[in-house]
Structure 1
């Protein structure tokens, strides 16, 4: 019966409030995140499947950019298909066992890191391929495959802590699949690594690559294409918008740990803020996987048009 407590609380709240004003805690902890996650699932999964179909139909497999888009779409699908289970957990708690909790957390983090690294690699590839094409040519074939394997190995390593720390914990008598830290030091290390490896370093690489590329080739045809400029700007801005809330919450949690002994009152307030915003900011991280197909593939529809033109002349793009 413990798994039903949260649902009963929600039902009683609806029945007892004729003014239809819901309890803010319920709205924040379950309703808003579930709406966001549900929309991400309904839009993101078909969108990414469409990207995969379009790439297989219109692009040759030797195109490294298309390989990146293909793997990005696959990793996004891997992340998004877990959303129904997380939505179920928001209302009923985690009732699938601890092993599935660890595996599901690992799959999500692995796919998120994989998607993140693929986006970062796109920016590096665009920079090197345009300005130092002679070096990129040397990577063709085996070198590109090795690079992709390295990216996935790194993503799997980055996500490995979830296998060790993932655990089913009781939260207000409701089982929740969460990260279980053995100490504040361990918690601090994980949060710092998430912020550095999951935002600061990738975002810095993306911004540096595109800024250097724009500065060095602005007189060339690459950036005369206004659609390409908009796509590049969208990549950086979208990444920032949908990941900064997650890492702001991480930084707040880091400070709550550091201030625990010297400023306990401030630490408690930060802890409450992190607990209050946990589900909301967590759900925002899935939006990026949802809009990736529109951002990288559909926004580059000129590529598809060129491929269709090439196919009409018996060529493969």
Structure 2
């Protein structure tokens, strides 16, 4: 979350008239994240999150918003999109697509222990099952095709060793994606960005997943690997924490057991998940967009994780 497109309270008040939320009382930009413009807003009806989408189009957005609605109707703890009076979930603000969703209660758990990871594993498995009958299909826009397209854009900023790592890993991921094991992996709508700051807790009780705007159709084991690479590591070293990883995986498998192919794919998917975020952070760091509130993430964090996963 970031702010690329500023919005004043006066502008919000005028735009909000199309919703049944009453008067606008306050708006505050959210500085974390790097993809969209996000704000906490308060109205007569309560607290919400306003998002202005900087990259996703009007045509792409129904996948994400209707997915959240689909999951919420099936008991998954996610923000509920708020329709305007005409029933639309996406409308234009400053000429860009925008939406309002409910604000989750709780706070992010940035220093998780196994009990938190188990909660995440359980809800992630429930989310994967709940999404299997979702009717709209849209590929993960930050999947393998994006990696292949983006690698040349950052390669010139890397030293020889980093270039070898990126080229070698990308080639291996392409080979694996063509394999029968990969083709047999269960797939469906995935979150694809389930980091610690995208989950809310009240103590040890999980109260919701949010920020679904990197979601897409992909393998479930990739979604698990993305989650493991953030929730179950030492942030300073990138080393896996066995107790946390075991808690998350065991809790997940109590709801949806891994297939044989998923068990085989798990190690290379940990690498794939690290590669995806190394590439995106390299791109954001070396090819930044202008924003009123934006601090790009350090790409060396996921380079370190990728090297650790390769070594393991």
TM tier relative to shorter chain = under 0.3
Determine which structure has the larger strand proportion and give its number.
2
Larger RCO (CA under 8 A, 6+ residues apart): 1
Larger radius of gyration: 1
TM-score (structure 1 length as normaliser): 0.23
Determine which structure has the larger helix proportion and give its number.
1
